[in-house]
């Protein structure tokens, strides 16, 4: 069975109250960046679960959202947020999502929940992309697994070309892809990303380059730290 961060977290004891408080603090800080009339990209995962009610509680007008997963869409709709297809919204003003790991270089690993393809499309569609996280997500260097979405046709050949990778025991993605994980050391994330992108059977990988990220909000026990990313978007994020 493939080893993934999501599986590992499920096998551990429940997240501490402090970690949940940190996630909530980062999410609330990000929610304050949302303005009336924005076209907003909503990520997925446990930190975004705190973001959705924080946005809904602000009572903003005219905010239209694109969701990166069916679970996020259902949760947003239940809170009264407006969710529309990304193609109907076009370019987004802002996208907000979590991360599995955040390196000092600005590289991210995302996709423990398997939504990284849609998450990357939404992040790339936004003028500003904000990442929210609790303190333990900030690491010295990125470590495996790196999530993959693969085309079902010839998947064993694709896995052989990827290298040390295994399929997850998981249902197909909403777009029909198979989920897998790259398990070897990450090394240089730019080199690994280029290798994975060169393989025809790889739909998308979970490495997000610094150039995609406008701002990272990392909450610890004392405060929410703001780290500027390489992507320049809205001046309101400064």
pLDDT in tens, 29-60: 999 999 999 999 999 999 999 999 999 999 99
Asked if the model's pLDDT at residue 135 lies above 50, the reply is: yes
Q: What span, in angstroms and rounded, lies between the C-alpha atoms of 151 and 162? A: 13
Q: What span, in angstroms and rounded, lies between the C-alpha atoms of 48 and 33? A: 14
Q: Are 89 and 145 in contact (CB under 8 A)?
A: no
Query: Which residue carries 């993959």 as its tokens?
Result: 148
Q: What span, in angstroms and rounded, lies between the C-alpha atoms of 134 and 44? A: 15
Q: Are 6 and 100 in contact (CB under 8 A)?
A: no
Per-domain residue ranges of the chain: 5-136+208-219, 146-206
Please tell me the total number of residues recorded for the chain in this structure: 238
Q: Check: CATH 3.40.190.10 for 5-136+208-219?
A: no
Residues classed as catalytic: 119
> pTM for the full model?
0.91
What is the predicted pLDDT for the residue at 133? Answer: 98
The domain 146-206: what is its CATH number?
Answer: 3.30.70.260
């Amino acid at each position: 069975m493939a080893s993934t961060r999501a599986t590992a977290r499920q096998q551990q004891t429940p997240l501490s109250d402090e970690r949940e408080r940190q996630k909530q603090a980062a999410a609330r800080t990000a929610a304050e960046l949302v303005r009336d009339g924005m076209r907003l990209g909503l990520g997925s995962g446990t930190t975004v679960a705190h973001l959705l009610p924080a946005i809904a509680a602000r009572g903003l007008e005219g905010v239209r959202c694109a969701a990166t997963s069916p679970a996020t869409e259902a949760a947003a709709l239940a809170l009264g947020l407006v969710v529309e297809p990304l193609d109907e919204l076009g370019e987004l003003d802002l996208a907000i999502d979590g991360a599995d790991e955040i390196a000092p270089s600005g590289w991210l690993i995302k996709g423990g929940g398997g939504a990284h393809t849609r998450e990357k499309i939404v992040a790339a569609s936004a003028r500003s992309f904000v990442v929210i996280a609790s303190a333990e997500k900030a690491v010295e260097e990125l470590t495996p697994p790196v999530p993959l979405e693969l085309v079902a046709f010839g998947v064993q050949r694709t896995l052989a070309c990827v290298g040390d990778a295994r399929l997850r025991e998981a249902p197909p993605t909403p777009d029909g892809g198979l989920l897998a994980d790259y398990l070897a050391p990450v090394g240089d994330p730019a080199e690994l990303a280029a290798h994975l992108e060169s393989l025809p059977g790889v739909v998308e990988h979970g490495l997000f380059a610094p150039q995609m990220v406008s701002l990272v909000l990392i909450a610890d026990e004392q405060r929410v730290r703001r780290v500027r990313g390489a992507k320049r978007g809205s001046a309101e994020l400064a």
